[in-house]
Structure formats: C-alpha cells, structure tokens
Amino acid sequence: MTSGNTVFASSPRAPRTMRRGVTLSLVIGACIVAAAPLAAQRPSLTYPVTATVPHVDDYHGTKVADPFRWLEDDTASAVKAWVGQQNAVTFKYLESIPYRGALLARLKELSNYPRTSMPVRRKGWVWYSRNSGLQNQSVYYIQRGLAGKSDVLIDPNTLTADGTTRVGGFEFDGAGKHLGYTLSKAGSDWQEIHVMDPVTRRDLADQVRWVKVSGIAWYKSGFYYSRYPTPADTTKALSGVNENHQVFYHVLGTSQSQDRLVYADASNPQRFHTASVTDDERFLILDISDRGKGADGNAVWVRDLTKADTAWRKVVTGFDKQFSVIDNDGGALLVLTNASAPNRRVVRIDPAAPDAAHWKTVIPEQKEVLEGVANVGGHLLASYLKDVTSRVVEYRYDGTKVRDVSLPGVGTAGFGSGERTDTDAFFSFTSFTAPPTTYRFDLAKGTSVVHQATTLPFDPSAFETKQVFAASKDGTKIPMFIVAKKGLKLDGRNPTLVYGYGGFNISTLPGFSASRIAWLEQGGVYVSVNMRGGGEYGEAWHEAGMKGRKQNVFDDFVAAAEWMIANKYTSKDKLVMQGGSNGGLLVGAVMAQRPDLFKVALPAVGVMDMLRFQKFTIGWNWVADYGSSDNAADFSYLVKYSPLHNLKNGTAYPATLVTTADHDDRVVPAHSFKFAARLQQAHRGANPVLIRIETSSGHGSSSLTKALEVTADQYAFTMTNLGMSPTYPPATVKAP
C-alpha cells in the first residue's frame, strides 16, 4: 500500500449524514398522523418567473439556445434572489405536508444509535471515528495499541457553530510523531491540511490551503501534497475551472509559501497529479491522469528516494489503462491494473525494467472483477465481486493463494490495509439489512471474530432482500436488488423507489441505511439497479455505458422499472426514481425520455447540462466518461440525452423535487438551477416541479442535520405525491 493516498473521488457522487433534535420518544408518541386528502395537502403553486436572455451557442454548426445562462453566475445578486424565490415556493409546499415533522422525527429516531468506524493501525497508534447517534460529525479517537486508553483526537463538531466542517484524510508520519489531516468547510471539495502532535493533541502552526484531489504523503520531516494555484478571484472559488494541478513538498515548521514545487505541467493544465510514498519510504510515486482529454487511465512515474533521485523514472507512460501501486516488495512494485485484464489483475513491475514484457503476474485475472486489494502483514486480501456481492481471497506477496476468506453472509466486505508486522486485519461487512460490523481476521488461521458490533434501535429482520435480473432493451441482463417487508403482496400497488448511478466504473454495492427504513416500514419497496457504466462486471461493463454508449444506462434503468411493473410489484402511479450526481443525470435523462413511466422524480446534485459541464471546477475530469461538446462527434450524442436540452414544452412531467446546495463545487448548482427553470417553463400538468437549494452544504450534505432534513423532505414529497397515508409511530420495526 502507498501512504498518503486519501484522494477525493473524481466522479460526481455524494455521501449522506444527520443530527440529534428534540426528545424523540415524546415526539414520536405524539405524532400519530394519517395523510390528509391529497388535494388538501397541496398549496396553490405559482412558480417564480425566471428571466431569459437571448444567448445562443454554435456547436459545430448547430445553434443551441441557452436562455438561462445567467443562472451560472453563483455570486450574482440576481441569482441569489432567484434562489430565495424558489426556496420560498418549495418550503411553503413542503411545510403544508402534515406528517413532514413526524417523518423527520422518525428519521432521527432510526438514526440515533452509536456507530464506530473500522480501526486503523499506524506506527503503534490506533485511530477510529465514532458517532454517538445524532452528532453532526463523527468524533475521531486515538489510543496506543488496541488495548490502550481511548482519547478524543479531533471533534469536528466544535470547529463551527453549525457543525458543517468535516475531517477528511488522516496520515501518520513514519515515526508516528506527527499526524496530518484535512478539513473541508460547508461541504466544499476544497481542503486545508493541518498537522497535529498526537501525544499533546495540539496543532502545529503548519497549514496548507487550496488543496484538492490530494493525499498527505509523509517523507522525513515533511509531506508531499497536491494543490491548485490560489484562484485569481476567490469569490469564484466554488465555480471557476480548476487547472494546473501541482505537487509540492512541505517541510514542517515552514510556511506554505516556502513549499518546494515537485511537479507541474503547464502544457497540460487539465491533468491530475497526485503523489504517494511507499510505506518503507523508498519510492515516491507520481500518478498522472489525463481524463480531460478523454483518457480513462493513468501514467505512473517514480523516484527512488534512497538514491536521492532527482529525475522521474517513467514506469507507465500511457493513459489508456489504470494502474494503482499497492506496495514496494524488494525494489519491485506490486500494481493493481486492468492492462490486458479488463477484470483487473496484480502484477510485479521492476522500475528499472518497466516494459510490459518484463511484468510478472502475481494475481491473474479471473472471471469476476477484482474490486480492490488490501495489503496487511505481507498478505494481499483481494476483494472480488460475484454478481455484485463480495468474495475475498487471501494471497501471499508472491501470488500463492492462502485461502478463500469466509464472510458473515451475502453482502459487501471491505478490508482495511495495515502494516508489514500485523498478524491480523480488520474488515467491515454490511448488506441492505445488516449494519456495518467490524471483524478481526487472523491472517495465519483464517478465522474471524466480531471486533465491533452495531446495536440498532429497530429490528431489520422485518425486511428481506432478493436479487433479480431484468432484460434491457438490447437483451443484456441487468442485476437489481429488491428490498421490502417480508410477505410483500405482489398486487401492483406497492410504492416503489428505484435508485441508480451507472457510471465512472463505480459499483453500487449492497449497503445499509437507517434512513431507508423510514421508507420500507411504510410499505415502500427499495430497488437498487446495477446498470452498465458502473464497475460491477469489470471494464467491459463500464465501457458499455460511457460516452456514445451512455444511452444503455438509461435503457437499463427503464428496463428495471418496467420489470417491477410486469412482475406486479408496482405500477406507473406508484413508481419513484432517485439518483445523485451522475445518478442525477440519470434521473433527468429518463424524465426527458420517459415522462410517463414514473410518478415522482428525485434528481440530486445532477449533471444536467451535458454541453457545458466541462466549463466548471473539475468538470473536465468527466470527459473520459461522457465525452465533450468541444468535440463534434461527442456533441452529436450528448445533445440527444442532455436533460436540460431535451425537456419539451407542454409535457406532463413527474412530480419532481430537484435538490442541490450552494457549496457544491463538484457539480456546480447551476446544473440544477437551469434544469429546474426549464422544467417549470416546459411542464404542463398538476404535478409539482420544485427545487430545494440547501445552504452551507456541498455535493453531499455537510452535516447530519442537513442530511436528515433533505431526506425527510424527499420522502414527504414522495409520499404525498404517491397518495400514501403514513402512520407514526409505525406498526412494525421495533427494537430487538
């Protein structure tokens, strides 16, 4: 494993969070509510009139109007006024839903249980995070060894009054004397690196700013990191394009202005350059990606730090395949790659003879995709996906198979990496109905014991999960998980929420959500669809849903929804679609193509303007998956499915609640602003089409409180428009 490798995901996806409120037992007991008649719940809706401008762009000879271009200026007073007007209409509607408060209270009750992360061991220290139940941010703890006394290391809840400052990556130096960590504010992807003495728990004066897509790679008396130049206009820091990613070395005790530039490439401003150091501090690894030019792989360069190399040795020079350095083993690099192996393999590469002809296969490619590799105690723990569920195989560094690792059930397992001297490893296991539980795995014996169990305030055994396969438009079998109450009647009347992502080689795996219980216990069905574009079946599956083949993703999602109808789970009037980020694009595109199929649409922080996404922050990074309107061939297919450009006047669209946030600097809120304005302009029908714009939040909710409030509003909006009659407290799902 390489140290300092905490890197923000380059894809546009989002996390979830929440916080404690009033005394829950009293609130729940008092809120026995049945839905009022649907018409009585809806206030009269008059949408704000959104001004238009006569702006037209010429794309390779095709004229495309952009009348809402002015909404891209996130700091303009007119845009801020528009946001206020839209929120006023939206929140008036949401506040009219009689059970909205009871639903939020129920979400808080369901989420009010202790959660502890998998422990990480470094240089004699053990650190982990813990949330007592409804804290805005998890608190980080540290101790000496697994048996040591646990002390608070960092409590992010004390850093800002509203609890919206988050802690990101942690990395100890080689001696365990210093700890580097990152902070981000109000949900932004921008980070600051701070340094702490883990003994005194006090911060040093060192502070590094304008960091994005970076690790903290310790070496001797400092660390390597990646950053962008300070924006010329800091007021545009949340929307301006990010270019010229550079690698620096910071020496402890000095100011950032004295940091040494390690690598920059002004001739290729839209590349990522990230640095890491192998655990033995022998090799400095430089990872270079060129996704802005449509390349989906990365180059790997190294320096041998024991020889004081000043020149980079180019181990991998192309950008068409993916390479991730796992560890240094006797001067050779263990590398996870999809080169000549779409389902990935592990190879040994000698930096002195890096030609592919000299690579040695350590773990060969299998028919199942190799999702990731953790290295602990001289062992490699390879995690595979078999029909979207985990299986793990233990290998030695020479590729000798030790055993298949026994897992607690069918679900998702994730191993954490460790150190060469470790004799055991930690892994977390979860499923749709089982909360994350940490296990301790003995590397020699192959046995596991529970290290940290999770006690829930409800009983998830009332629900069950089944996996089915739907045939897409071209006949491809699409896996999907269905979660519902046991004994569900297949009468075509069940409210059904269909969720999808489908992109960036990201696998949508079985995972637990306490908030989801609030939907399931009211008779709702939850469906997770594993569409093409993701990584569930390797690179071939990913490529089948990218660029000019993106339509496959939308077809897969539609096929899943139609399967649910055909098999009498639900009907069009009871169907909901939900997705965030790239999944928000999915919802927007399907709305435009099949407005008749779903009753409710919940697009969150979506990429809605497929002709201009590359013009903001790191949007150019998505060209590898989407293509770019700057290219004539790419424009020809992008314009056909871009959600913003395919809404049609006079069409009755599903009841829609668009959600975004003012500090989203990954998928800038202008995408959602323009889409909502166009939707309100085009829509003809009784269904409400609204936008909810969060403040001091980003691509994912910046606090537990905000996440709960957004979820409550999404569910309340959905239940109202499906004509559901939720009752509180619910009749099922009691504590064990």
Residues annotated as catalytic (active site), given as ranges: 581, 699
* Nearest in space to 34 (alpha carbons), one of 97, 108, 87: 97
Q: How far apart are CA 243 and CA 233, in angstroms?
A: 14
Q: How far apart are CA 676 and CA 660, in angstroms?
A: 11
Write phi, then psi, for 707 (nearest 5 degrees).
Answer: -65, -45
* Nearest in space to 112 (alpha carbons), one of 722, 717, 705: 705
CA 516 to each of CA 301, 410, 511, 714: distance values in angstroms, whole numbers, following the listed order: 44, 19, 11, 12
Q: Which residues contact 124 (CB under 8 A, 6 or more apart)?
A: 144, 145, 176
Eight-class DSSP state of 651: B
Q: CB burial class (10 A; 0-12, 13-18, 19+) of residue 206? A: buried
CB of 725 closer than 8 Å to CB of 34 = yes
Eight-class DSSP state of 424: E
Q: How far apart are CA 134 and CA 115, in angstroms?
A: 10
Concatenate the DSSP letters of all residues of 345-407 into one string: EEEEEBTTB--GGG-EEEE---SSEEEEEEEETTEEEEEEEETTEEEEEEEETTS-EEEEEP-
The crossing angle, in degrees rounded to 10, of helices 77-95 and 670-682 is 60
Q: CB burial class (10 A; 0-12, 13-18, 19+) of residue 602? A: buried
Q: How far apart are CA 380 and CA 154, in angstroms?
A: 31
Beta bridge partners of 224: 217, 249
